[in-house]
Amino acid sequence: CHAEISVQDDSGQTVTLATPANRVVSLAPHLTEMAFAVGGGDALRAVIRYSDYPAVARQLPIVGDAFALDFEAIARLKPDLVLVWTSGLNERHRARLRSLGLTVYESEIRDAAAIGPTLRRLGTLLGKTDAAAAAASRFEQDWRMLRERYAGKPSVRVFWQLWHEPLMTVNREHLIGEAIEVCGGSNVFAGLPLLTP
């Protein structure tokens, strides 16, 4: 008899599985990448558009994008876990996934400090705790090294183009905004109130 696997996601919900997930749909490119990073790429059955890293992710079926999901295709896959980016998918879509009886893990990474814990939680859900711990430690070490490398160096003014039409960027509250600062940049739109103005 196996013990249940349980983690708390970024929405505060407890996500519980009877066994490690082996039929996963990822509805966020960063979660696709993180699933591969913890050694769980083999469990992925489908992804969202723009899930292009690592290269093998491009071979997986696409079940939608941030604006529209193919709920029938997702249901047909019978996933035991759906990975969702909270602010990248509207509430109506998240509710519909749950109404289909699917187990949903919501991720809302706003700063680099959340990446290690997210990797570890995904590793728990995918039955890859050791690989996840190693991936999280590598990331945290690399982040510290970047911070040290650029500390005290002259700042470079940066505009980050997140999207072309409509033209979008990020403020300092966005993880990309934090990365710009850690790498010695000064985001020209850091002070705007919206996360993605």
125-156 pLDDT, tens digit per residue, is 999 999 999 999 999 999 999 999 999 899 99
Res 88: pLDDT? 87
3-state secondary structure 97-124: HHHCCCCEEEECCCCHHHHHHHHHHHHH
Q: d(Cα 90, Cα 66) in Å, to the nearest integer?
A: 8
pTM recorded for the entire structure: 0.91
Contacts of 160 (CB under 8 A, 6+ apart): 169, 170, 176, 177, 180, 187
Contact 156, 184 (CB under 8 A): yes
